[in-house]
Amino acid sequence: MASVALLAIALLSSVSLAWALGASSTSPPLAPAVGARALSVMRAALLVGVLAAAGAVLQGGSVSETVGNDLVLGPSLTPLAVAVGLLTAAVFIAIGVATSYPIPAAFATTGAIIGVGLALGGDPAFETYRELAMFWVLVPPTGASIAYLTASMLRREDVPDTVAIPLLGGLVGVVVANVTLEALPATAGTRPTIANFVSRLLGPTPKVVGTYDLAMVATTLACGAGLFFVLRRQTRQSVDVAVRRFLLALGGLVAFSSGGSQVGLAIGPLRVIASESALLTAQNVALVGATGILVGGWTGAPRIIQAVANEYSQLGTRRSIAALVPAFVITQTGILLGFPISLNNIIISSVIGSGLVVGTEGVSMRKITVTAVAWLSALLGACLVGYVAFGFASTRL
């Protein structure tokens, strides 16, 4: 088959996977807000699409590098391998959308790309697998524990909402000041963050810790303090209004982060072969992924949002906030490390952890068990299917 035709198939495969990601993996962040009746399902789907697409453009680079180049040692991915791998992952994720059991895109895509890479004659990247496995295994207990502790704090009578909510807002502000935003300028060896951008504007200041100078530390603290005092004022005026706004803002931040994390799964392999076409520049590839996620969020997200909001644990507004705080922090950690990460894994474990604060009655253990089995099956199954499918396609094309 001609090279141009293979590139076209690879591009369509990337768009298909991006759609599946928008429909499945980027949709859970606003599910707690839906479960708390702070937002309708359809409005949540519209917001997920827009915010995740923005995150895809501004934060999609680090995960793309890992997925495209670090999963298999040896030969680079070919257009046929990219097409087979991404289509395999998209099929697994689409099955999750159809059955309302959200399949982790990180598992399905990682498995599929490893499968086609090994079929190409590459060697397993065991060090990368070890790091990914450790991170993936730590995510559920970490997310659930943080969500449980946060929900417990929000329920304590001796910690009023006028203190607890602003403190959580301050934490979120500190993280926001240090998230990677690829549109911002940065010098070599530094990350493009709000804190770093302010430091560049102000000029050199004394180093405080690591790569952080005085301006970066001051900016970080200012962002945290700013959100603290904004929420402090709002909670004093109306706790219910402040809690609702904070919940929606958190959901939006996690949706944005999910786009930055998940788009790398769809476009990472595509960027490897982009040099073969003048049209497939890095910027155009990012826009392809963002567009697919946008459409997927608008057309396919409502079903998964409904499932996560109501079937895993019935949450109130405060426990929904407790679920989203660790989701935001963990997702941004994954982007910082360049690790493909499952938003479903993070959100669902955080939702469960926050729900456990009132006992196990609101948690469906059957749903959780079936989901865990589906996740492991997706990783292994996608690897096997990708390996076999590439071998079959390469002998006939």
The torsion defined by the Cα of 58, 60, 62 and 63, in degrees rounded to 10, comes to: 160
Give phi and psi for 281, each to the nearest 5. -75, 165
Q: Give the separation between CA 42 and CA 36, rounded to whole angstroms.
A: 15
Which runs of consecutive H residues, i.e. helices, occur in the chain?
3-23, 31-35, 41-59, 61-69, 79-99, 105-119, 126-155, 161-176, 194-202, 214-237, 239-272, 282-311, 317-337, 343-355, 365-394
Higher pLDDT, 138 or 105: 138
- What average pLDDT does this structure show over 163-178? 94
pLDDT recorded at residue 362: 53
Check pLDDT > 80 for residue 379: yes
* CB atoms near residue 207 (< 10 Å): 12
On average, the pLDDT of the chain sits at: 83
Burial of 52 (0-12, 13-18, 19+ CB in 10 A): buried
Size of the chain, expressed as the number of residues it contains = 397
Min mean pLDDT across 80-94, 101-115, 256-270, 280-294 is at: 280-294
- The 10s digit of each residue's pLDDT in 195-211 is 999 988 888 888 888 78
Confidence of residue 2 (pLDDT cuts 50, 70, 90): very low
Mean predicted confidence (pLDDT) in 211-225:
93
pLDDT the model gives residue 312: 47
Task: Find the angle CA(302)-CA(372)-CA(314) to the nearest 5 degrees.
Answer: 50
d(CA 353, CA 339): 23
Question: Position of tokens 């994390």?
Answer: 261
Residue 279, φ and ψ in degrees, nearest 5: -80, -25
Share of the chain above pLDDT 90, in %: 22
Q: What is the pTM assigned to this prediction?
A: 0.84
**b/e per residue, 7-41, with b = 16+ CB within 10 A?**
bebbbebbbbbbbbbbbbbbbbbbbbbbbbebbeb
**CB–CB of 266/19 below 8 Å?**
no
Provide the pLDDT confidence category of residue 124 given band limits of 50, 70 and 90: very high
Residue 179 is predicted with a pLDDT of 92
User: Which of the four pLDDT bands, split at 50, 70 and 90, describes residue 230?
Assistant: very high
Q: Is residue 191 scored above 60 in pLDDT? A: yes
Confidence band, pLDDT 50/70/90 cuts, at residue 115:
very high
Q: What is the pLDDT of residues 313-359, one digit of tens each?
A: 456 778 788 888 998 999 999 998 888 887 767 877 887 777 776 66
**Cβ pair 52, 256 in contact under 8 A:** yes
